[in-house]
Amino acid sequence: MKDFAKLVYNLDQTTKTNKKIGLLVSFFKNASDKDKLWCIALFSGRRPKRLISTGYLREWAGEATKLPTWLIEDTYTVVGDLAETISLLIPEKSETSSKNLSSWISELRQLENQSLEDKRSFVFGAWSTLNRQECFVFNKLITGGFRLGVSQKLTLKALSQITSIDEFDLSLRLMGNWHPDTETWNSLIVNDDRKSDISRPYPFCLAYALDKSSDDLGHTSEWIAEWKWDGIRGQIIKREKKLFVWSRGEENLTERFPELEELINFIPDGSVLDGELVAWNGDQPLNFNSLQKRIGRKKVSKSLIESVPVILIAYDLLEFKGKDIRSQKFNLRRSKLEKLINNTPKNLPIKLSEKIEHKTWNDLKLIRETSRSRKAEGIMLKHVDSDYSNGRKRGNWWKWKLDPLTIDGVLIYAQAGHGRRANLFTDYTFAVWDGSQLVPFTKAYSGLKDEEFRQITSWVKKNTIQKFGPVRQVPPELVFEIAFEGIHESTRHKSGVALRFPRMLRWRHDKTPRDADKLEDLRAFLT
């Protein structure tokens, strides 16, 4: 555990890319094969099953430290992370356990069928034999994943350095359903024995947000324009007469979208299609809120399938006749995709992503302005010669989204943030006018500069009206412009609406509370 805990600590102490890669390389060179696998698994979200609730951990931390519950809770509010909070409160140890990472994980997983008292004894024993860094990692294994700013790209670069295997190949080896229990270092990394896994998806190609004028992209003939739909990214895989559906988050969604099973009889073997999974009714998409009803359920009822049918809007072909064609030019892959889909019946839950015909960039700008009426987020631009890269490759694909919708709201509640912003009030509730009453309509916590958060924090402390646990009510005096991507009806909110991706665009020093928008202004975005 010492080496992995040291790695986690050192990664958290630097923002330099090369330094992080060097730390990962050093760990992979010296760690056991099993520890290397678990390191990759943990950094990619494959953590052990949670066997102990955070409520019990809070209680046991109080027993171990002899501190009152209120003090532990207040400390947690400041620190912002329970695993770190407990590691800071547990007395530091001078001599620690020599067990490695995989041994600790193995012992932790053996607790599944044991009594609560046995779990308590194990946790207390761990806390008494681990130093602060190790204790933090141990607590993380129980409570959650490792969000350390270690991207998959950095991990791939480090693995490539020690194995001399191309990053492009490594990224494929780490896709799909694998686990340290079922793989070895050699089978997963060195030999790629997972070629036999017929469900394995490809790493997704991603787009950069367009940050320059479209006129700077060259002639329009060099680009294919498509609608950017508000769904979830997915790959449909057909191999050996079996069909699989994978999300960008590397989750197998096959059972959640049973209507897509119909494609198995029409998509040829050895095919992998990339596209957007969208709730679709008739000839138009439904909003993302409808799709969410499907995403969150592993078992989907017949009535939900009928009310929220899902289709794949396909826009790329990654594998054809069993051959990986990602290195081919996009227009060639697109041509093969068009032929494949045109040879399938029209009533299947699949549509070819529409090419947006245009002659000039100005034409496309005007078409883009109609996105919301089509229930699209904007336009995708894909270079005709682009390959299908792993992750983002600047200049290949661009997402050209519409400017966000905006509304002016009044700050009415504030709450402290987490992590490095735990000492600042950064989480806000905003309201709009409904007659003479202010009605809360959204929460937001991002979009402002640190200096602005500090100024607002000072104001909140001086102007608090009431406290509700960590939440403070403040007088309705500060106005903010709130940006959001979409809006839909909601019975769960007092305003009757819910916003998609709300964030603060700016602090409106130039406006008084009475200048804030009305509920009717907000609801007007629904039409």
Q: Computed over its alpha carbons, how large is the radius of gyration of the chain?
A: 26
User: Mean pLDDT throughout 493-504?
Assistant: 91
Bridge partner list, 439? 432
CB 383 within 8 A of CB 397: yes
Output the CA–CA distances (angstroms, integers) from residue 68 to 58, 74, 78, 178, 226, in the order listed: 10, 10, 16, 43, 58
Helix axes 17-30, 33-43, angle to 10 degrees: 150
Catalytic residue among 20, 119, 140, 228: 228
pLDDT at 527: 67
Question: What is the CATH topology of the domain spanning 205-401?
Answer: D-amino Acid Aminotransferase; Chain A, domain 1 (3.30.470)
What six digits make up the tokens of 10?
């050192």
What six digits make up the tokens of 91?
């007395």
pLDDT at 489: 86
Can you point out the beta strands (E) in 340-445? Answer: 350-352, 376-383, 391-392, 397-401, 405-416, 425-434, 437-444
Q: Give residue-wise pLDDT tens across range 341-358.
A: 999 998 899 999 999 999
CB 332 within 8 A of CB 294: no
- Taking the C-alpha atoms of residue 127 and residue 129, their distance in angstroms, rounded to an integer, is 6
What six digits make up the tokens of 149?
């700013």
Q: Give residue-wise pLDDT tens across range 380-415.
A: 999 999 999 988 888 899 999 998 999 999 999 999
pLDDT at 148: 67
Bridge partner list, 275? 234, 314
Bridge partner list, 41? none
**What 3-state class would DSSP assign to 183?**
coil
228 carries an active-site annotation: yes
Output the CA–CA distances (angstroms, integers) from residue 91 to 86, 87, 134, in the order listed: 10, 8, 13
Q: Give residue-wise pLDDT tens across range 302-319.
A: 888 888 999 999 999 999
Q: Give residue-wise pLDDT tens across range 217-231.
A: 999 999 999 999 989
Label residue 373 exposed, middle or buried (CB < 10 Å: 0-12, 13-18, 19+). exposed
Question: What is the CATH topology of the domain spanning 405-526?
Answer: OB fold (Dihydrolipoamide Acetyltransferase, E2P) (2.40.50)
Return the residue matching tokens 């359903």.
Answer: 177
Q: Give residue-wise pLDDT tens across range 25-53.
A: 999 999 999 999 999 988 887 777 788 88
Q: Give residue-wise pLDDT tens across range 423-472.
A: 889 999 999 999 999 999 999 999 999 899 999 999 999 999 999 888 99
Residue 228's nearest CA partner among 250, 255, 259, 207 is 207
**What 3-state class would DSSP assign to 480?**
strand
pLDDT at 149: 65
The answer for residues whose C-beta is within 8 angstroms of residue 170's C-beta and 6 or more apart is: 156, 159, 160, 163, 189
Q: Give residue-wise pLDDT tens across range 138-189.
A: 998 888 766 666 778 888 999 999 999 988 888 888 888 888 888 889 888 8
Return the residue matching tokens 């792993």.
Answer: 390
- Taking the C-alpha atoms of residue 404 and residue 377, their distance in angstroms, rounded to an integer, is 9
Torsion from C-alpha of 24, 29, 31, 36, nearest 10 degrees: 60
- Taking the C-alpha atoms of residue 439 and residue 407, their distance in angstroms, rounded to an integer, is 14
CB 224 within 8 A of CB 355: yes
CB 486 within 8 A of CB 287: yes
- Taking the C-alpha atoms of residue 449 and residue 426, their distance in angstroms, rounded to an integer, is 10
Q: Give residue-wise pLDDT tens across range 187-223.
A: 888 887 767 789 999 999 999 999 888 889 999 999 9
Domain segments of the chain: what residues?
2-143, 205-401, 405-526
pTM, full prediction: 0.79
pLDDT at 76: 81
Question: What is the CATH topology of the domain spanning 2-143?
Answer: DNA ligase i, domain 1 (1.10.3260)
Q: Give residue-wise pLDDT tens across range 247-301.
A: 998 888 998 899 999 999 999 999 999 999 999 987 889 888 888 888 877 788 8
Give 110-117 contacts, CB < 8 A, sequence gap 24+. Answer: 111/51, 111/52, 112/49, 112/51, 116/56
pLDDT at 478: 96
Bridge partner list, 279? 310
**What 3-state class would DSSP assign to 465?**
coil
Q: Give residue-wise pLDDT tens across range 90-138.
A: 887 777 778 899 999 899 888 888 899 999 999 999 998 898 999 999 9
